[in-house]
Structures are given as C-alpha cells and as structure tokens.
Structure 1
C-alpha cells in the first residue's frame, strides 16, 4: 500500500477509544489504522511526542462568519484560520449576520463566492427561514444547504426577521415534505417583553432580561410543532437547563428533536461575570453555576447532542466595551479558537475524559448534519487530524487570537491543552504546521 502520510502515536483517539496506533493516509483519506509497530511507510511521517494525542478534527456547526456585508465583524479568511488554530477542520456558516442573509439561492451563491478562495478549513452553509421566503426553502435545500435557521424572537439584525407560531408551523410543514432540518433560536418574545429591560453595567440586570422561561416556552412551541408536522427540529445554543426534561420527554415520545449547547454555557457562570464585562454578553445568557452543572448532566445522559461555538463576533465598539452597558452591547461570544480548550479544561475538572469531549465536538456535530466522512480517525474518513498536548497550559492572550476582532471573555484565563498541529485531508493547515498550503473545500449536503 502506497501512503502519502503516516502518523504514529501512543494515544490516537479511534472510535473504540484511545490506542497506540499508526494512521495511514492516501489521497486525503484515512486508509489504514493499525497497531503501533505495524511499520506503515510513507513519504511523510509524523511521530507524536509523548505528551501529544491525535484527535479527529472538530466540526463546528454554529459559526457566524458574517461575510459578505459585515466583514468588519468577521470573514472567511480570519474565521477559518482561527478555526484551524483551535482544532476545528469543518465549520458550518450561519445565514446571518451577512448582508444579504442566506435566504435564497442568489444569496447562497454570494456566500460561496466569498468563501471559495479564502477558506483554510472546510466550509458548509445553513440557509435561513424568515417571513416571506417559504418558496425559497426547497431551492436552497436542492442547492446544498444543510438545513435552515430561524428565530422565534428578534434576531438583532433587521434583514433577518423572526417567525411567529403560524410561521413556524408553515416552515416545518414545508421542510417535512423533503425532510429538511430546522434550527431554532428558541426564546419566547412575550416572556422577554414581560421581563425587565436590560440596561446598565450590572450583569444581574441583563440576566433578568432573558429569563429561563423564555427558552422553556419557546422549546415547548418547537416540540408541539415538530410533533404535529413530523419535521426535524434542532434547538440551538441551549442555555437553560430547565428545558432538559422537556427535550428528553419529547425524544422519548418520538419527536424528531436534537439540541446543542456551547462552551460558554459549560465553562462560565453568571456569578463570575464582572459588572461592565460585556464580552460575556450573549443571548440566551450565561446562567448560574447550578444551571451549568445540569447542562453537563444533559450532555452525559445524551439529552444534549453536541457542543458548538456559536461564534458570534462583532467590532469592539458594538460590544460597548467603553461603557460596559449590557443593554447597549451586541450579544455574542467569540470562541471559535478556544472552544476545545475551554471545554476540556472544565471536563477534566469534572473527571470527564477527553474522548467524551471530542465526541460532543466532532462526531456529534458531524452526525447531526450527516457528514459521514467527518468526526473520526477511521478508515474511509477524511484525514482531518489534530495534534493536541492535553496537559499543557495556555494563558489566553486576546492578541494571539486569529479571529478578526479578538474580544473574548476568556482573556487572561489559563486553559488546559494546546493545539500543536492541524491537518486537513492529511495536509498541514497554513500557520499550524511546517508544510503545505491546503485550501478548504466548500461542502454541500451529502458531500462529506
């Protein structure tokens, strides 16, 4: 067997767990996984150091790249470099906050044109479901989007409207016709309207403005509509653990429902947010430590399927860093480069193994979107590989982050792990290894 690359190491994460292995790569795919000592040969060989492990590349299905239109916030070049530096080899771009949003085939073509020459990791795309674009959903599906995102509350940008209950029903009925997937930002607008308005520097005041009931009510609506229509639904960025029993019960009853959460909900707590620290602001919000514990339990018992970043950056002025006003600040946490390390740090503290973390951040998201070639170091999969030193500590320096506006709530924190090398289809991603200059592929539904 002629191989292009062999990676050898005492700790390779295979679908069966960590093992001492040699991984053989040919034409960008894993073609052999043999016990260490098998003496696979290739023109290139990587021998892992004793403190390194080999992991499958992460799949982040919730990334706001914002290009075109709001490229000052983020862009494909900066976002994909940051992804690779964090061990992420595949991202799925959200349909907002770009201008135009990805709500029709013409807008999808603009997104793909913007990404094509800049992506250093693989990129796929979500479409949007908004008032008035029901007739565009099937054409977007046929053009390759992986599914559709909607909001049940104001999205924060005027060009991406939110669905009311009849609109949600109409969209789910349409998607059920071709088994499309609907992603839902699930917060109830009436519950938020009845809460105190966010204002000022105190985080507790902002937290009260987005109560847990807002998520619970919205998720109840999603469940009822999915049950009635037979459509597939996915709850985005679950923040409130109060909704976990609803999700578990609905799934047990056969409702086609999945859910994700994010690193910031698993690693940060409301108690730790300093007043005026608007880098922590996101919607739904970071809640208290007891809620965080329950989210971890939801992962462990399988109620939550995946951990993804919801990387939602903006320019520093929009984060109101100068005033610290939570009411005025843009709501979004930028963590694309730091997600693996942040989650691993907290998981290790809780006695949870790295293999579970990678399952939630790689194979879990890949399974959600049907990427059969992603998410595992296994024969037949793309050779998207990450070399991680899991015991090395890293102090987060915002100046070392590669996304365009390095505002982060993790600044100054010590995180466990360092990504030393990222490979996409067996080639080093620029800036993360000594050789090669691979380009990411643009993926459609069923391409990976």
Structure 2
C-alpha cells in the first residue's frame, strides 16, 4: 500500500511550502510541490488531505529511561517504565534508552527488552550500553562487543561526570571508554557516541576537555547532557560548544529545580543562539521516566519527580512561541541535530529516502494532530 499525504505545509526542517508526500512502506518515496501533478494515483494509493496543516519531522530524543529510573531515596522512589501509549502520543518517534544511577536492579538486558517492546509498537528504539558507573555494565562482557553485535546499542552512556553519584572516573578511564566505543562504532557503522550525564560539581565539563587535550579522541565523541541544570554549567557548556563539542539540554524540569537555578530548556536554547553557538552543536532530550532529584548542600536526598517524554514537544513550542525562534531552527534542536550526533542518517529530515517519521500539527495552538512513524499513523488526536 502506498500513502499520499496531500497539501502538507512542509518543514523538512527547512520550509518547503505546500507539498505532497508519497510514503512507500517505511520511507518517503517522493516529495512534490503541491502545484505539480500528483506523483501517483490509483486504487492502491491511500490519499489523505492534510489541508495545509504543518508537517515536521518526528522528534529524536537522545535520552529516555525506558525502564524507569530513580531510587536515590530508596525503593519507594523508583520511577515507572515508559508506557507505549504515552510514547506514541508524545511526538517522539526515535528514542534512545539508557540506564542511570541504578544499574543494579535495572539491567542492559531489561533495557534492550523494553526497547524491543516499544519497537513492536511502531517506534524506532535504540539504546546505550553501560550506565552512570565505571566499569560499565554490559550484555556481552564489553562495551565494544555490545555496540558491534547488538543492533540497538549505538554507544555507551549515561556515564556520570562531576556528580557525587558517579564513579569519579579518571581521564585515563574516560579515554579508554571513549576509544572502545569509537572503534566499535566505526566497525559497526554507528556513532559510538559517549553520552555523558553532567552533575553540578565545579569540574563541570573539564574531564571531557582533559581527554581531548591528552589523547586523539575529539570532543565530538562525547555528548554531555543536563547542561542547563545550573547557570555555571550552562556557561561552561557554551564554551564547550565553541571549542568544538556538542551540548544537550534537558527539557523535563520541575518548579523546585527552576527555583534552585536550573535554566528552562527553551530559554537555554535562546541564550545559546544569542551567544552565537553553532545551532548544530545543540540538542534537546527529555530525560523521560528518569528521576529529577533534589539534594541539599550536604548531598542528602530531598525529593524527586519523574521526567516526561511530552516535555520535548512542549519545549519545541516554547522555543517558537515564547522566544521567537523560527520553527525550522527549533526543529533542529529537537530532531535533526540529534540524528546527526547519533549517526542516524535516515532520521530528523523529511526528504526522499528518509524514514517516514512525521508529525502533523494542529491548525490552532501548539498541539499534535497526528503522529506517523515508519510510514504508519500511530496516533490521532481525539
């Protein structure tokens, strides 16, 4: 069956005007301006008229805790797994799963199983081997083997630096881990990215700079997240991006975290652009189903709330509506840039040959009317 989406006001992410999109199986077979003849007609073609509604790429989220997170306050503070129903309604069509603080009761095997459960529901799901701690937990006995032989594993993470919950890795340990992930990624045709949880210790992103200064590993092998968690960390992140690295901003937050000094993700995007950071060096992630914990000055647990996958689309809207960032530029932060950083060439764009992952936006307000993933409509509002 072929599907023809007529009269889409297309942002690919660049604005393309009114277009028709032909979907064949899982991919986009053609993109044709609306004033040209339809690419194909006939009884084998399902035709859907979008009547000029905006169509954007499906969102790409580099950090989702498929199997839940938390537990820093005891077993009663564990957060739940991600539900398929929540995922398909969120607008995120490509999700990368990670373990976090807890790699004892949650495992790479459980993470992989959950990834395949969500994939059976129509989404594209990938994952990182390892967790906050070093040496990393793996399925096959090594990071390199996990990346090379398990299709879903595209890198290692969420490795913790500058955080009291991490293993306080040395420069040598970080360099060895990055080298293993990089080489295995090259052999497997993957990014081999090292996805890095960054805490609020004064060292900030300096451990990653030290690796780049003392080895042949480039800053771009790392993708540090939570860079908007404090003002000082954000300022260091701006410097890091100017030095050739990438930074990831967390969209899930709480009133308490904002009161403690976290910068809201949309505001952080606006500040980064104002500071003339190359937009391609900035990504957004939801940290969905992780705990968003608070600790006092002595490092004692105060409380937590779970991250939400829906926050990624919400922050995309805030970038556009509250900060005046053009939609095509904001889309990059929530989709295209992450696809590039993670080595996913068929994601984050709506063009011939790319995966048919797309969102149909509502005519009024900031809302999703339809979610399409790999050529299938998974969600329709109402």
- Mapped to 1, the partners of 2:179 and 2:249 lie a distance apart of 26
Aligned partner of 1:132 in structure 2 is 135
Aligned partner of 1:243 in structure 2 is 236
Does residue 248 of structure 2 align to residue 260 of structure 1?
yes
Runs of 5+ consecutive residues of structure 2 not aligned to the other structure: 72-76, 186-191
Aligned partner of 1:6 in structure 2 is 4
Q: How many residues are treated as equivalent by the alignment?
A: 348
**Secondary structure of the equivalent of 1:218?**
coil
Aligned partner of 1:424 in structure 2 is 373
Q: Is the 8 A contact 2:10 2:56 kept in 1?
A: yes
- Mapped to 2, the partners of 1:58 and 1:290 lie a distance apart of 19
With over 3 angstroms needed to count, the CA separation of the structure-2 counterparts of 1:97 and 1:245, relative to structure 1, is: closer
With over 3 angstroms needed to count, the CA separation of the structure-2 counterparts of 1:292 and 1:174, relative to structure 1, is: closer
- Mapped to 2, the partners of 1:290 and 1:13 lie a distance apart of 23
Deviation at 1:233, TM superposition (A): 1.5
1:92-126 deviation digits (Å, cap 9, x = unpaired): 00123565578xxxx43443233433443221001
- Mapped to 1, the partners of 2:259 and 2:303 lie a distance apart of 7
Q: Is the 8 A contact 1:84 1:422 kept in 2?
A: yes
- Mapped to 1, the partners of 2:16 and 2:266 lie a distance apart of 31
Q: Is the 8 A contact 1:241 1:294 kept in 2?
A: no
Q: Is the 8 A contact 1:12 1:20 kept in 2?
A: yes
- The runs of at least 4 aligned residues of structure 1 exceeding 4 Å deviation read 67-72, 97-102, 153-156, 287-293, 330-333
Runs of 5+ consecutive residues of structure 1 not aligned to the other structure: 193-213, 252-256, 321-325, 393-416, 435-448
142, 146, 169: which one pairs with 1:163? 169
Does residue 160 of structure 2 align to residue 151 of structure 1?
yes
Q: Is the 8 A contact 1:69 1:99 kept in 2?
A: no
1:228-248 deviation digits (Å, cap 9, x = unpaired): 222222221211331145314
- Mapped to 1, the partners of 2:272 and 2:252 lie a distance apart of 11
Q: Is the 8 A contact 1:299 1:305 kept in 2?
A: no
Q: What is the TM-score with the length of structure 1 in the denominator? A: 0.67
Deviation at 1:390, TM superposition (A): 6.0
Deviation at 1:371, TM superposition (A): 1.0
Q: Is the 8 A contact 1:56 1:375 kept in 2?
A: yes
Does residue 37 of structure 2 align to residue 29 of structure 1?
no
With over 3 angstroms needed to count, the CA separation of the structure-2 counterparts of 1:229 and 1:384, relative to structure 1, is: same
- Mapped to 2, the partners of 1:425 and 1:290 lie a distance apart of 32
Q: Is the 8 A contact 1:244 1:298 kept in 2?
A: no
- Mapped to 2, the partners of 1:153 and 1:126 lie a distance apart of 20
- Mapped to 1, the partners of 2:146 and 2:266 lie a distance apart of 40
- Mapped to 2, the partners of 1:365 and 1:289 lie a distance apart of 16
With over 3 angstroms needed to count, the CA separation of the structure-2 counterparts of 1:419 and 1:236, relative to structure 1, is: same
Deviation at 1:389, TM superposition (A): 1.7
1:71-93 deviation digits (Å, cap 9, x = unpaired): 962324x1x43232121111000
Q: Is the 8 A contact 2:26 2:356 kept in 1?
A: yes
Aligned partner of 2:301 in structure 1 is 328
Aligned partner of 1:75 in structure 2 is 81
- Mapped to 1, the partners of 2:199 and 2:45 lie a distance apart of 53
- Mapped to 1, the partners of 2:78 and 2:16 lie a distance apart of 41
- Mapped to 2, the partners of 1:290 and 1:359 lie a distance apart of 16
- Mapped to 2, the partners of 1:357 and 1:33 lie a distance apart of 22
- Mapped to 2, the partners of 1:304 and 1:390 lie a distance apart of 31
Q: What is the TM-score with the length of structure 2 in the denominator? A: 0.78
369, 388, 395: which one pairs with 2:342? 369
- Mapped to 1, the partners of 2:281 and 2:307 lie a distance apart of 21
With over 3 angstroms needed to count, the CA separation of the structure-2 counterparts of 1:110 and 1:311, relative to structure 1, is: closer
The within-5 A match list for 1:206-285 is 214=202, 217-231=203-217, 232-239=221-228, 240-251=233-244, 257-263=245-251, 273=255, 277=256, 285=262
313, 321, 335: which one pairs with 1:348? 321
- Mapped to 2, the partners of 1:91 and 1:387 lie a distance apart of 19
Aligned partner of 2:116 in structure 1 is 116
1:182-215 deviation digits (Å, cap 9, x = unpaired): 1222336xxx4xxxxxxxxxxxxxxxxxxxxx2x
- Mapped to 2, the partners of 1:296 and 1:171 lie a distance apart of 31
